[in-house]
Amino acid sequence: MTETVRARRTRERVGSGPKQMPWRRVENSFRPLEVLSAEQIERIHIASLKLLSDFGLEFQNDEALGILAAGGAQVDMGTRMVRFPSDVVEHFIAQAPATAEVYSWNPEKRIGVGGTEIAFGTVGGPPNCSDLERGRRPGTYRDQCDLIRLEQSLNVIHFCGGAPVEAIDLPADTRHLDTAFAFLTLTDRPFFGRAIGATRIADAMAMAAIARGVDVSALSTQPAIMSVISVNSPRRVDQEMANGLMQLVRARQPAIVTPFTLQGAMSPVTLAGALVQQNAEALGVLAFAQMVNPGAPVVYGGFTSNVDMRSGAPAFGTPEYARAAIAGGQLARRYRLPYRTSNVNASNAVDAQAAYESEMSLWAAVIGGGNLIHHGAGWLEGGLCASFEKMVLDAEMMQMMAEFVRPVVIDDAEIGLSAHEEVAAGGHFFGSAHTLERFETAFYQPMVSDWRNYEAWKEAGSIDATRRAHLIWKELLANYQAPPLDIARKEALVEYVARRKAEIAKTGLD
């Protein structure tokens, strides 16, 4: 059998296109799992407040230090250390809203942040990308655009989580403009702006407003972008992250505050110690955000995992990661805040390790009450690589999760006692009216999984899941159609990018 016939038979198996669920907002119908008792959560809370009051956080930003001092924190301008009285933390955390909405230029692709809603996002920020044909390589703008097209083609994806791969071939001080342009013209999903400094966030907001056909001031009531504010654990907020955070919250765009607490490296080695540090860092920065603009939407981010104690390398998708992710959800709910978590793994290939570590992460995210699932599709190598095949495999897993959390319906029609009138004891239900009315939609239809028997699978070329994912992403890109952004708005985006590049070339990036 030739390779061409094998490929054709694989395409025939998936029909006219990969089987996908339609785009929809996903509500989690299940009560979140809890790995810590209420008493344990309160012990973490109290210890977090003590860490903030006795040790504090370092803010490497003079403007931020002034705001913190005015808000009641104890600021040492010499060391830049900020200690937070407990009542100050609790007062400002209470100002943050429990939910938010994020809008796209396509009104049908609005998403919710918080409550029982789950929004699945994509990998953001890796310097490399890979696929089975071209191998692993530094990211280019062409790769970035292809990954964004793939994100648009996968219905389960609700938001684009930052550059899916860095465009290393573009100048560092202006590539954020090209990335935002790609998001706004190649997708109709909300996206993450780049929060390294205030200017990049301001550009992303201005471009999102152009795509929406509104003044940028309108985004304060209908946010268009989000961004992750990373804490440099342990207990440091650098100057540019603070600038990005202030820009976001002043404009009332959701800021996702996320410490990176690796047990044994950037935090104490124990889960309890890491959770206290994660919680303290998150609370301190979230309280600062509310000092800047009370009521601005913010998100509690958790990213606690462990390291390989033999090499010091980060490990993801571990039992420790899963417990921390679920506990992080409990802490976020303790403060009535939306929760960001992730679908991550440490595998260097799209293999069994990538699948079982990602599934461990994804289960913890969903059953732990995660609202924003960042790095949901495409993450590989501990975040150093975006994989085309992994993006498709992750989309399959996220589709399955979206189906899993649907409410179970128990009514007379579903119970189907009438079917027994047609089927005698020892018979089968294949031909009953109850089955025939439902057979096309009764069960989840996979995009990647192959349910044929061994002989049929072998006859079709013995194609494994990774190679099936390869064929699927190529098919999706071959059939990709850009969403219908108004041509005048697209032209205005082109003009904005050209003008800003000229300004930055002349004066530099602020």
Reply yes or no on whether the pLDDT at 13 is more than 50: no
Q: At what angle do helices 62-70 and 239-250 cross, to 10 degrees?
A: 60
Reply yes or no on whether the pLDDT at 227 is more than 50: yes
Scored b (16 or more CB within 10 A) or e, 210-236 reads bbbeeebeebeeebbbbbbbbbebbbb
Q: Please give the pLDDT value at position 16.
A: 62
Q: Please give the pLDDT value at position 144.
A: 98
Q: Please give the pLDDT value at position 104.
A: 97
Backbone angles phi, psi at 496, to 5 degrees: -65, -45
* Overall average pLDDT of the 344-365 stretch: 98
Question: How far does CA 266 lie from the centroid of its chain?
Answer: 22
| Mean of all residue pLDDT scores within the chain | 95
Confidence of residue 149 (pLDDT cuts 50, 70, 90): very high
pTM of the model as a whole: 0.94
Q: Decide: 386 and 139 in contact? Cβ < 8 Å.
A: yes
* Overall average pLDDT of the 33-47 stretch: 98
**What is the C-alpha to C-alpha distance for residues 71 and 68, in angstroms, rounded to an integer?**
5
* Overall average pLDDT of the 373-399 stretch: 98
* Overall average pLDDT of the 156-172 stretch: 97
Residue 140: which of 115, 117, 165 has the closest Cα? 165
Reply yes or no on whether the pLDDT at 8 is more than 60: no
* Overall average pLDDT of the 45-58 stretch: 98
* Overall average pLDDT of the 257-278 stretch: 96
* Domain coordinates in residue numbering, the chain: 3-19+445-478, 20-401+419-444+480-510
Cα 135-137-139 angle, rounded to 5 deg: 130
Q: Which two tokens stand for residue 330?
A: 């409990």
Residue pLDDT, tens place only, 459-501:
999 999 999 999 999 999 999 999 999 999 999 999 999 999 9
Q: Which CATH class is domain 20-401+419-444+480-510?
A: alpha beta
Least confident residue range of 49-53, 157-161, 320-324, 415-419:
415-419
Rounded to whole angstroms, the maximal C-alpha distance in the chain is: 85
* Overall average pLDDT of the 448-455 stretch: 95
* Overall average pLDDT of the 199-228 stretch: 97
